[in-house]
Amino acid sequence: MSNSSSPDLRIAVILGSTRPGRNGAAVAEWVLEQAVGREGATYELVDLADFPLPHLDEPVPPSMGQYTKDHTKAWAEKIAGFDGYVFVTPEYNHSTSGVLKNAIDYLYAEWNNKAAAFVSYGSLSGARAIEHLRGIASELQLAHVRQQVSFSLATDFENYSVFTPGPQHPASVQTMFDQLEMWAGALKTARTEALAEAA
């Protein structure tokens, strides 16, 4: 089921690792390939390596929306244009990557009242990274969908490095897309109506 009533939905696939030789690049590209042909939304890669953010250096909390740094403004402009997000995360020390957490923490309003889904990879399929991201998303008013896709380094990567996803994953990711597009569309309508009422 695709949300063909809102073909203008834009979804970012956020690659949440910047390590040399990262496994996440192949995972994010696979997610994009699975989204080809969907009518409910367009999917675009957003690679954190293209947005080199230092450790959060804004003097005012992001919830105030008073960004002062050029790198923050560029990141905010990029993220604001999307209606939903697929976060592709490794699992480091039972959590998500520091670079992804830092990038998320830079912004606030740009995430609000939008939808999120999660794709992970790691020795335990990255499940614990997703659990942390769900709590973070809730605080940012990001509606996160139930379906997630998780890849094991032991079974979905040859020699722990060459991505060879199992046959069960394509169906799972389509379910994830369905849920994400439904929520992204509903929340886009709600944001549009709220702006109209405020005008």
The pLDDT, as a whole number, for residue 1 is 39
**4 inside domain:** no
- Looking up tokens 């905010």 gives 76
**94 inside domain:** yes
**189 inside domain:** yes
Give the pLDDT confidence of 94-137 residue by residue, as tens digits.
Answer: 999 999 999 999 999 999 999 999 999 999 999 999 999 999 99
**2 inside domain:** no
Assign residue 185 the CATH number of its domain.
Answer: 3.40.50.360
Nearest of 135, 25, 141 to residue 88 by alpha carbon: 25
Nearest of 46, 48, 20 to residue 31 by alpha carbon: 46
Q: How many domains does the chain have?
A: 1
What pTM value is reported for the model? 0.94
**22 inside domain:** yes
Whether residue 89 is predicted with pLDDT greater than 50 in this model: the reply is yes
Residue-range definition of the domain harbouring residue 115: 9-198
**3 inside domain:** no
Identity (one letter) of the amino acid at 198?
A
**1 inside domain:** no
Strands (E), 109-179: 114-122, 142-152, 157-158, 162-163
Give the pLDDT confidence of 25-54 residue by residue, as tens digits.
Answer: 999 999 999 999 999 999 999 999 999 999
Structure-block tokens of residue 134: 């769900």
The pLDDT, as a whole number, for residue 6 is 43
Instruction: For the chain, count helices (H), then strands (E).
Output: 5, 7
